[in-house]
Amino acid sequence: MEHFETIVIGGGSAGLAAAIALGRSRRTVLVIDEGQPRNEAAQHAHNVLGNEGINPLELLSRGRQEAISYGVQIIEGAVDRLTGSLDTGFRVTASGQSFSAGRIVLATGLVDDLPAIPGLDRAWGDTAAHCAYCHGWEVRDQEILVLGLGPMSTHQAMMFSQLSPNITFINHNPSALNDENRATLAALGIPVIEQSVQEIEFDAQGDLDSVKLADGRNVSAQALVVASKMNAQASLYLSLGGQLAEHPLGTFIQVDDMGATALPGVYAAGNASNLGAMVMAAAASGTIAGAAINADLLGKQLAKVQAQA
C-alpha cells in the first residue's frame, strides 16, 4: 500500500492549494478528485485576482499542472472509504485502490440543494445565481427576480438592488418573510408578489424568459436570484466520527484558524468548512491548511529526533 504524508480529498481550488503548499515543502501528497467541481456550470469565475473571468475548469487545469510540477500525485475517482486516526494512521480506499496517510485534508466542497421548481436546474449557474459578488455585475440593470425561499433571500434582494433598479421579490415561501424582512424590502422599493413559482420558462433560443406563478401568471425575467441550501459533502468526516456544525444556510465542517477539525490529523478547507468561500478564499484556506500540516509534521519529526538523541 502506497503511503503519503498527506492525502487531499477533493481537487478544487482549496484542495489543490493545500497540495501545492505541501508539495513546495517537499511533502509526499496525493490528491483524489471526483472531477465534479461545484462551479462547473458557470462559464466564468470572478474576483479571482489576476485571472478575472477565467473559466473555472481552466483555472483548475492550471492548478493541477502547478501541483504536479511540485511532485503532487493526482488521481481521478471517488473515495469509497476513509478510516483510521492520527495515532493509527489513515487509510483511504478509492476506485479499488488503497493508500495510507499521516494527515487528511477534506476539500470535498458542498452541495447546493435547490427547491424542486421545474427548470431551475437548467438555469442554475447561468441565469440563476445566488451571489451578487460572483454574478451580480453580469446581470446589472436586468430584470431580476429574487425567489423568497429563506432567511437569505431578503439580504440577496438588498445586494442585487445595488446592481439593478429592476428587482422583484417573489414570495415563494411565505413563512420565511417576517415583518422585518418586509420592512427592508419596502424601504428599498422592491415590490413583493405573494405567489409561489411553479416553473421556470425559457424562450425558443433557450434563454431565460419568465417564471410561471401558481395563479397562472407569467412574470418576465432575465435573471433569477435563488438561495440554495448549502450542505458540506461530509460523509467521510462523519464516518470518522466527526459532527457537522449548523448554519442558517446549511451545514459545514467546523475548523480552527488553521483548518484543523475536531478530529486530530484531519483538516478541512474550502466550501466544506466555509459555505460562503469564493474561489480565492477557498484557495487561501487550502494554503493555510497545507502550511499547518507541514508545521505539524516538522514538529513531530523534531520531537522524534530529540527523543532519539
Count of residues in the chain: 309
State residue 77's pLDDT score.
94
List, in order, residues 6 or more apart from 230 with CB less than 8 Å away. Answer: 110, 111, 112, 113, 247, 249, 250, 271, 275
State residue 6's pLDDT score.
98
State residue 41's pLDDT score.
77
State residue 38's pLDDT score.
84
Tell me what the pLDDT averaged over the chain comes to.
Answer: 95
Which DSSP symbol is given to 130? S
For the segment 134-157, the average pLDDT, to the nearest whole number, is 93
State residue 163's pLDDT score.
96
309 has pLDDT over 80: no
List the domains of the chain with CATH numbers.
2-111+229-308 (3.50.50.60), 115-225 (3.50.50.60)
> Residues of the chain with pLDDT > 70: what percent?
100
Residue 129 CA to residue 46 CA, distance in Å, equals 13
Return phi, psi of residue 212, to 5°. Answer: -95, 130
State residue 60's pLDDT score.
95
Residue 105 CA to residue 253 CA, distance in Å, equals 12
For the segment 146-164, the average pLDDT, to the nearest whole number, is 93
Secondary-structure breakdown of the chain: helix, strand, coil percentages, each rounded to the nearest 5 = 30, 30, 40
Q: What is the largest CA-CA distance in the chain?
A: 81
State residue 158's pLDDT score.
96
Output the CA–CA distances (angstroms, integers) from residue 231 to 88, 107, 244, in the order listed.
Answer: 30, 13, 10
DSSP string, 39-83: GGG-S-B-S-TT-TTB-HHHHHHHHHHHHHHTT-EEEES-EEEEE
State residue 150's pLDDT score.
84
Q: Answer yes or no: are the C-beta atoms of 176 and 169 closer than 8 Å.
A: no
Output the CA–CA distances (angstroms, integers) from residue 264 to 257, 267, 307, in the order listed.
Answer: 15, 8, 22
For the segment 269-279, the average pLDDT, to the nearest whole number, is 95
Residue 273 CA to residue 256 CA, distance in Å, equals 10
Return the SS3 of 214.
Answer: coil
171-220 pLDDT per residue, tens: 999 988 999 999 999 999 999 999 999 999 999 888 899 999 999 999 99
User: Which residue is it, cell 504524508?
Assistant: 5
Residue 132 CA to residue 64 CA, distance in Å, equals 28
Residue 228 CA to residue 230 CA, distance in Å, equals 6
State residue 40's pLDDT score.
78
For the segment 29-46, the average pLDDT, to the nearest whole number, is 89
Return the SS3 of 234.
Answer: coil
Q: How confident is the model at residue 37 (pLDDT cuts 50, 70, 90)?
A: confident
63-118 pLDDT per residue, tens: 999 999 999 999 999 999 999 999 999 999 998 899 999 999 999 999 999 999 99
List, in order, residues 6 or more apart from 149 with CB less than 8 Å away. Answer: 115, 172, 173, 176, 226, 227
State residue 162's pLDDT score.
96
40-55 pLDDT per residue, tens: 778 888 999 999 999 9
Q: H or E segment at 157?
A: helix 153-161
Residue 16 CA to residue 282 CA, distance in Å, equals 10
* Cβ count within 10 A of residue 46: 18
State residue 235's pLDDT score.
97
231 has pLDDT over 90: yes
35 has pLDDT over 80: yes
Which DSSP symbol is given to 40? G
* Cβ count within 10 A of residue 131: 16
State residue 278's pLDDT score.
94
State residue 208's pLDDT score.
94
